[in-house]
Structure 1
């Protein structure tokens, strides 16, 4: 070892073909982990920038903070030494730092020390203290990595959290580089747990998915191959939180091919979405740039982030992953209209599907192709059949294709009661099998056995999608609903979110879109539809946030318009409509609607 680099890991930067078998399937070599990939980068491109952080905390212009692969290696060993002083191999180390380079160094240092990283967030994130408390009590970390700025808040939060033992608190930015000399190299196995990825809490309390190093490496390769990110001049731009699975993937990409990612805080984006566009434009001028965001971010940027001067922005080299479930064609079209004048390619958008239990990525549309939308009969879809109709049909519901399944991953659509594969064109639960699937939920054997232990009772011999799968191997039950049409995967919602009235299933996002279009007083994307118990049937409730500038407007007309629109389009009587102030509806840590939490709040009387 010299300069802290183990030169037994292989010569040169990783070559994707070295990770493929004779049939082109992904076969991760036993020495490939995020840590070994970073060591390759240190050995080959040590002085190249690995990560760049745009810090807008001071006001208008960003302070640019950069770290090279060599410097990252030093920080990983220095912080890793301090971790080794308080945590043994396999123990959990929570990362609770503000977004920035210290967070990245802390996450990789925890892996480097042979511990299990738990990417979380600092208590300063508003509205999510309960989720943070749940994750800490579940993971029981031996140590917490933070920064000197956040330490006081961390200490105070830990004082209020009931843990068997108080974790040691390490301020990453206070660890001197000289501590790297005392780091003890640790052998990391590809099937060791890399980190616990806590779910966002959209349909239940957050749980920690055990993600192995094999799953991380496999999933990053699946994304690179599916989105065609093989050019080493491709780099990332992201404001997504680093405790989120997609945010972590944006720091994983550079580790694979020695590139770099430019990051900013989520709050910097929310306050001024033009910052995201400007960072994408700067990247687009020097090479291909990839980014990712959910529906609301593209709509928000189209509303508040359009530049005044088209000559200053170039989006011609940008790939935009949109990974909400389900993907909104309205969000895509709104963004396209706003940014096509800035060079945005017709094939820039990549509607994709993924989930934390599969590390992240499952499917996307092919490189160079444009977004594909089918219009389905709403009534047939409520009965579980995908029947295309004309776009102008009054019963038409637009559904966006999430493309083809990632390499070396099997995906079948299953009827949950019979555990039988559904034919194409029929809705069922999405089941997955592959090396990118997590090992289970941390400390939850029974729940893990159910979610990660699905057993197919029957497959379709003709036209089925289980080809290449190991049929006697367990499947991941995603909890998401979808169907295949002409070989492409379409995602239509979550089992737990279904609105079921009189035995018929309705998709909440469809009802919410109807409510949004019924009145300008409510915010599109900030409406939750759900049912509550009633006699003799479940009662449909809609909670909608006010649009900007409507705080003093009487909501009576909007309530009546929403009731009429939902009944006319969906045949559903609305028992109650509540128009609430902006920010009232609970959301997950990744910004998705938390409909079940909203229902609980409604039942508890939170909305008056």
Structure 2
């Protein structure tokens, strides 16, 4: 058993040096340019980066990783771990077109992590130089394009002294309900969560061998926990192969995802619910005729609410291409637990609960709750009343608390937030727990996530989950973009709190705006028994989202109150 991922660099390089660790589809297409990295080459490049960092005495300090999609990020990330340097994955700058929000986030991360060096490629460093006036922090931070670090430096690498409690990297949370915070993930956290992912997703030696070691296909951003801890690091942990490509290439042509799954036939691939919706939107007969999805065993769905209707439609539509309903794999996790907490049972269709089965607030349009599986080995999960702190019986909704070796050390240099979030205690239970801020209930040991504690909409004493209102609104008209609707409440004076719906539509549908508004009001009123204070239709890309695609409801609410939303108006006659 490896004591850290660093040990596995040497192990994999010696046992299967010529096996492909990662391939990168440069254009997003299987028939386009492809770059590959063997385990021998991966170890060489990671050790070279590590030696460069060690030569400069940077062990224990923070390195900001700013890379475009590609294989250089993986070498740099593992190089940081191998040097005892704390990696800080970030979103690379987009040159002079870098928007204000992204620039502000980058500055905040640099300052909060107290980064001493920036690792990137030549293009990223040139873009940073062009933004020097907006990033005065760069004046005190060393920068290196890692492709300029020679292979020969690898010979000078020295194995660092690491313990399970040594911080490996800072995963800055996506900030769906608050400002991003740096989660301090240790080497022990990483090993434990990789074991959880391996067990829950059925990544056995037999399964990987049956897939010729093709484990993942992924377009997920590697600077985010789902894309990094899952496809990148679980592949490395098991010495398997992953096919990676850019999130932008997926968004431009969602069919590329399923085409890559069909071509490379991995065991596992997935993403947030919106990705499945996008795939469905572009599922024309020509695409279906060219796909073979029969080898896809785990189609994971997480990071945002999992929709029962999406699961059903995906299985029905892509069944024609060999996809099996039993491959649908809802799961639940968060950066504060490194990544995975619960996962479905491989080879078993998801559990869908309607109101008659004990799920709250079910509507006719969709099952109310989708089972996200059971905790992985060594993971403790309990449902707790968020105010009294009392453990709740099965079937009752409360806050999800998590314990185990995969729960991160805390928030970087934020003792108060760490104490509030990571140090919860529960009568009758040993150890401390992570308060996730997520709401859910258990049935037969399986977790059903129902919403976010801070996003709850309380109208006339009744709780409404915003995602329920959002789903109802989205289903009313084809012009509404899936996964691009935000529901929140505002103070309506003597009427108390009242909900608002903000939904993205294409400008071409502006002529339908009044009709769309009316059908949303009617559908939400009928399904949920609430009267909307306002319905606002906005241009695509207006609603802020986190790096993993979660709707930032509080930020949308703030923009609504400030009057800064890009509203779509009906043209004058």
* Separation (CA, whole Å) in 1 of partners of 2:482 and 2:131: 35
The superposition leaves residues 46-72 of structure 1 with CA deviations (integer Å, 9 ceiling, x where unpaired) of 111111111007x99421000111111
8 Å CA contact retained: 1:429, 1:477: yes
Match for 1:70 among 18, 40, 45?
A: 40
1:566 is matched with 524
Confirm or deny that 1:511 pairs with 2:457: no
2:227 is matched with 247
Q: 1:192 to 1:153 in 2, by over 3 A?
A: same
8 Å CA contact retained: 1:521, 1:550: no
1:382 is matched with none
Other structure's SS at 2:106 match: helix
2:88 is matched with 118
Confirm or deny that 1:302 pairs with 2:280: yes
Please report the TM-score for the alignment, with normalisation by the length of structure 2. Answer: 0.92
Deviation of the 1:304 alpha carbon: 1.9
Task: Point out the more displaced range, 528-537 or 422-431.
Answer: 528-537
Other structure's SS at 2:442 match: strand
Q: 1:87 to 1:265 in 2, by over 3 A?
A: farther
* Separation (CA, whole Å) in 2 of partners of 1:291 and 1:188: 32
Other structure's SS at 2:176 match: coil
1:79 is matched with 49
Match for 2:328 among 349, 353, 358?
A: 349
Other structure's SS at 2:475 match: helix
Q: 1:117 to 1:87 in 2, by over 3 A?
A: farther
Confirm or deny that 1:540 pairs with 2:507: no
* Separation (CA, whole Å) in 1 of partners of 2:487 and 2:33: 42
The residue correspondences of 1:22-421 to structure 2 (distance < 5 A) are: 31-56=2-27, 61-124=31-94, 128-157=102-131, 159-163=133-137, 166-230=140-204, 231-233=207-209, 234=213, 235-249=215-229, 250-284=231-265, 288-306=266-284, 308=286, 310=288, 312-318=290-296, 319-376=298-355, 387-388=358-359, 397-421=367-391
* Separation (CA, whole Å) in 1 of partners of 2:549 and 2:285: 24
Other structure's SS at 2:484 match: strand
* Separation (CA, whole Å) in 2 of partners of 1:356 and 1:390: 28
2:570 is matched with none
8 Å CA contact retained: 1:278, 1:313: yes
Deviation of the 1:299 alpha carbon: 0.5
The superposition leaves residues 437-470 of structure 1 with CA deviations (integer Å, 9 ceiling, x where unpaired) of 000000110000000011113x5xxxxxxxxxxx
1:15 is matched with none
The superposition leaves residues 564-598 of structure 1 with CA deviations (integer Å, 9 ceiling, x where unpaired) of 21112111111111101111110111111111111
Deviation of the 1:242 alpha carbon: 0.5
* Separation (CA, whole Å) in 1 of partners of 2:360 and 2:404: 35
Segments of 5+ residues of structure 1 without an aligned counterpart are 1-28, 378-385, 460-470
8 Å CA contact retained: 1:390, 1:396: no
2:437 is matched with 479
* Separation (CA, whole Å) in 1 of partners of 2:558 and 2:281: 31
Segments of 5+ residues of structure 2 without an aligned counterpart are 568-573
Structure number with the higher helix fraction is 2
The superposition leaves residues 401-432 of structure 1 with CA deviations (integer Å, 9 ceiling, x where unpaired) of 01111111100000011111001110000001
* Separation (CA, whole Å) in 1 of partners of 2:396 and 2:451: 14
Q: 1:158 to 1:221 in 2, by over 3 A?
A: farther
8 Å CA contact retained: 2:395, 2:441: yes
1:13 is matched with none
8 Å CA contact retained: 1:128, 1:589: no
8 Å CA contact retained: 2:63, 2:116: yes
RMSD: 2.1
Confirm or deny that 1:434 pairs with 2:393: no
8 Å CA contact retained: 1:158, 1:166: no
* Separation (CA, whole Å) in 1 of partners of 2:443 and 2:227: 30
8 Å CA contact retained: 2:20, 2:241: yes
8 Å CA contact retained: 1:306, 1:339: no
**Aligned residue pairs, count:** 553
Task: Point out the more displaced range, 124-133 or 225-234.
Answer: 124-133
Match for 2:454 among 481, 493, 496?
A: 496
8 Å CA contact retained: 1:122, 1:154: no
* Separation (CA, whole Å) in 1 of partners of 2:31 and 2:54: 38
8 Å CA contact retained: 1:83, 1:143: no
8 Å CA contact retained: 1:545, 1:581: yes
Deviation of the 1:187 alpha carbon: 2.1
* Separation (CA, whole Å) in 1 of partners of 2:560 and 2:360: 36
Structure 1 moving runs of 4+ over 6 Å: none
1:466 is matched with none
8 Å CA contact retained: 2:218, 2:227: yes
Q: 1:561 to 1:69 in 2, by over 3 A?
A: same
* Separation (CA, whole Å) in 2 of partners of 1:77 and 1:159: 34
Match for 1:527 among 472, 475, 485?
A: 485
